[in-house]
Amino acid sequence: MKVFTNVKDLGDLNAALKEAFEIKKNRFGYKQLGTNKTVMLVFFNSSLRTRLSSQKAAMNLGMNTIVLDVNQGAWRLETERGVVMDGDKSEHLLEAIPVMGCYCDVIGVRSFARFENKQDDYTEKILNQFIRYSNRPVFSMEGATTHPLQAFADLITIEEYKTKARPKVVLTWAPHPRALPQAVPNSFADFMNEADVEFVITHPEGYELAPQFVRGARIEYHQDKAFEGADFIYAKNWSPFRDDIYGKVVNRDMSWTVDSRKMALTNDAFFMHCLPVRRNMIVTDDVIESPKSIVIPEAANREISCQTILKRMLESLS
């Protein structure tokens, strides 16, 4: 595996799940793979779960880890050719990225959408430059448009908790005070569309996600109706993808908050969220604290999804 940004990079999804569960049963069983190998984790944005789980996954595999926090203010990268670099950018990515590649075997990159230019965001400008110029396998630790380590962990979690062959999984928008990227819902849709689930997305009008991720998924604008018979409720805020309102907060409708009345409409569904979560905006205290809330085991599976990707990348090196 040379790149991990989307569900397709995993190939056969059932094989990937099987591999993940083998790793989960035997986390330290693959340490010879990582001996004398180094992963570099490059953060252009802050991180809690990804930072911790990626380090843990790499150490499980016996890898050395180097964490690099790129302070955007202090170390601004020039991205265009031909520029006379007499301003505040002291290094060009055309040098910085291959240099980072020199000192490691695998690179993880976190670089969020900036909401300045939809085209820049949706072409994954930063992440793709790492893929192109680092000369190393590169995995996304959340790019501008996808967060595949999260979605793979979500799928692992659904597989663990499901009680029927083909559960109904509902991705629901919920309100938030700030403009959030679409990376998590995009990747969740990307994965659910390939998984053996009945997948429904519910959100207010105007919050349609990008078609390349939604694909054939059913859209239901009536949240209550979407919840009926659901086995998993996956809550998440995102800002609009639509050109005219891209990356803006145009709706804070608190009637979309996931509460116990709505959960009662489901088939005793499990509650999921990628975290961090704004309580009583996205979800009420009682729902997230209920026995059906699986947000902590879901977070714990971030270690497993990352270790599966790292294992495959290590195998591709030898």
Interacting residue ranges for its own copies, rule: CB under 8 A? 27-28, 36, 38, 40, 46, 48-49, 51-53, 55-56, 59-60, 64, 66, 68, 74-75, 78, 81-87, 90-92, 94-96, 98-100, 102-104, 177, 275-281, 285, 288-289, 295-296, 299-300, 303
Q: What residues contact residue 31 under an 8 Å CB cut-off, 6+ apart?
A: 60, 61, 62
| Residue with Cβ nearer its own copies (79 or 128) | 79
- Supply 141's token pair: 């630790």
CB of 300 to its own copies, least distance (A): 4
CB of 121 to its own copies, least distance (A): 21
CB of 255 to its own copies, least distance (A): 14
CB of 290 to its own copies, least distance (A): 13
The long-range contacts involving 70-73, CB below 8 angstroms and separated by at least 24 positions, are: 70/42, 70/43, 70/44, 72/44
Report which residue type is found at 278.
R
CB of 58 to its own copies, least distance (A): 9
| Residue with Cβ nearer its own copies (28 or 221) | 28
| Residue with Cβ nearer its own copies (7 or 23) | 23
CB of 212 to its own copies, least distance (A): 29
| Residue with Cβ nearer its own copies (104 or 126) | 104
Q: For residues 47-81, b (16+ Cβ closer than 10 Å) or e, as one string?
A: bebbbebbbbbbbbbbbebeeebbeeeeeebbeee
| Residue with Cβ nearer its own copies (66 or 265) | 66
- Supply 233's token pair: 């409720």
Asked whether the beta carbons of 48 and 113 are under 8 A apart, the reply is no
The separation between the first and the last C-alpha atoms of the chain, rounded to the nearest angstrom, is 11
State how far the Cα of 202 lies from the Cα of 250, in Å rounded to an integer.
16
| Residue with Cβ nearer its own copies (195 or 288) | 288
Question: What are the start-end ranges of the E strands in 115-196?
Answer: 138-140, 168-173
